[in-house]
């Protein structure tokens, strides 16, 4: 297993991992009708845009197996919204279901934290669905619950927890 910075040509596989992870991770938390309508094709356009941006405060790293097959990613950068005292944010961390619970998420988080440190960021936060089992993973990684908010996903209100790291 290796971790590398994502390249533009990764957009199809990132879209696939993103959609498949949503469908397995959020089943039972987000309406099935919404999850069932998610497509890799629609997500590819978003990934093309993200990977073509020249943004020095945005990082995307991928995990790949020995054969070079991408099975997970993490993305983060400068905070997208004002959260007092925090300057960096994990935007997304997704692994295909069969690769979860094997230490890959921890390696991705630590890789992103290193990028944050190298670029002058000293703290970070993220939002995670309150019912998402990954919430406990982030707490084990040192995140502390600091806030909650309600998010609307296709007309469904879901509760998110803000987790923060005061010092990276």
Residue with tokens 């806030």: 147
Does 148 reside within a domain? no
Instruction: Spell out the alpha helix ranges (H) of the chain.
Output: 11-25, 32-37, 40-52, 104-118, 134-140
If pLDDT is split at 50, 70 and 90, which confidence band does 42 have? very high
> Please, what is the average pLDDT of the chain?
95
Greater pLDDT, 84 or 92: 92
Does 131 reside within a domain? no
Domain hosting 24: range is 2-121
Tokens of residue 16, six digits: 């696939």
Tokens of residue 67, six digits: 């054969």
How much is the CA Rg of the chain, to the nearest whole Å? Answer: 15
Number of compact structural domains in the chain: 1
pLDDT digits (tens, 9 = 90+) for 123-140: 999 999 999 999 999 999
pLDDT digits (tens, 9 = 90+) for 17-38: 999 999 999 999 999 999 999 9
Does 78 reside within a domain? yes
Does 158 reside within a domain? no
CATH of the domain at 88: 3.40.630.30
Residues in the chain: 168
Does 130 reside within a domain? no
Measured on CA atoms in the order 27, 28, 31, 33, is the torsion positive or negative? positive
pLDDT digits (tens, 9 = 90+) for 11-22: 999 999 999 999
List the Cα angle 125/25/34 in 5-degree steps.
100
If pLDDT is split at 50, 70 and 90, which confidence band does 55 have? confident
Q: Tell me the whole-structure pTM to 2 decimals.
A: 0.93
């Amino acid at each position: 297993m290796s971790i590398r910075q994502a390249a533009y040509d990764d957009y199809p596989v990132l879209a696939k991992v993103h959609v498949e992870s949503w469908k397995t991770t959020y089943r039972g938390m987000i309406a099935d009708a919404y999850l069932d309508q998610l497509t890799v094709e629609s997500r590819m356009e978003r990934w093309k845009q993200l990977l073509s941006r020249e943004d020095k405060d945005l990082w995307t790293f991928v995990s790949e197996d020995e054969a070079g097959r991408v099975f997970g990613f993490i993305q983060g950068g400068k905070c997208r919204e004002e959260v007092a005292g925090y300057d960096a944010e994990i935007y997304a961390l997704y692994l295909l279901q069969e690769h979860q619970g094997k230490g890959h998420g921890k390696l991705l988080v630590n890789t992103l934290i290193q990028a944050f440190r190298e670029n002058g960021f000293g703290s970070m936060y993220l939002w995670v669905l309150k019912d998402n089992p990954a919430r406990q993973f982030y707490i084990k990684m040192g995140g502390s619950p600091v806030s909650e908010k309600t998010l609307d996903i296709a007309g469904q209100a879901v509760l998110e927890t803000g987790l923060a790291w005061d010092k990276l």
